[in-house]
């Protein structure tokens, strides 16, 4: 069973058709929408501030989502994919975005919709990542516009993860 804990009397809440892996951790002030998936070894720690997660969000293996006490909560809008081992901290991820594997997104960052943060990128505090671009590097910089194919990928990935999570929640036949 996943580790689901209240903190200071506030327990995590999630919507319909969510998959939360057995060895993931979700604690405190976390509100998650419908059709979300929290994969193996992911940690969502709403202990020091809020974490709001929209619909159709996939939080892949080893991801850590946290925030800063009395300063920066975390807001993740709809149709967001957060790649394996990424760190998302006290920021805002708008709809239809991808945070690549191993990326770090720091406090008060705003990732506008239809944006890709490349694998391993480090997005420094207070950065605004403009809609329609790929950001890469350490520190992350705007590299180039996303293609039509990448735009379609941003829409398709959350649907894929809804399908993958159904493999773990379907009744045995």
Count the domains in the chain.
Answer: 1
d(CA 83, CA 73): 20
Output the six-digit token pair for 126: 């207070």
d(CA 35, CA 15): 7
Structural domain for 62, as ranges: 3-169
Contact 105, 99 (CB under 8 A): yes
pTM score, whole prediction: 0.96
pLDDT in tens, 11-60: 999 999 999 999 999 999 999 999 999 999 999 999 999 999 999 999 99
pLDDT in tens, 109-161: 999 999 999 999 999 999 999 999 999 999 999 999 999 999 999 999 999 99
The CATH number of whichever domain residue 18 belongs to comes to 2.160.10.10
d(CA 25, CA 44): 6
Q: Residues 9, 94, 128, CA angle at the centre, nearest 5°?
A: 110
d(CA 35, CA 152): 19
d(CA 112, CA 130): 6
């Amino acid at each position: 069973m996943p580790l689901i804990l209240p903190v200071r009397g506030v327990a995590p809440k999630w919507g319909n058709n969510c998959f939360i892996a057995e060895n993931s951790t979700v604690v405190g002030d976390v509100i998650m929408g419908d059709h979300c998936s929290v994969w193996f070894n992911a940690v969502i720690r709403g202990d020091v501030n809020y974490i709001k997660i929209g619909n159709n969000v996939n939080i892949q293996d080893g991801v850590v989502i946290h925030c800063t006490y009395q300063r920066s909560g975390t807001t993740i809008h709809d149709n967001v994919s957060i790649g394996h081992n990424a760190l998302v901290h006290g920021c805002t991820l708008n709809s239809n975005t991808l945070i690549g594997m191993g990326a770090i997104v720091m406090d008060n960052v705003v990732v506008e919709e239809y944006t890709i943060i490349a694998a391993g990128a480090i997005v420094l505090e207070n950065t605004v990542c403009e809609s329609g671009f790929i950001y890469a590097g350490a520190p992350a910089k705007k590299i180039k516009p996303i293609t039509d194919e990448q735009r379609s990928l941003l829409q398709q990935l959350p649907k894929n993860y809804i399908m993958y999570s159904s493999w773990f929640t379907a009744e045995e036949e």
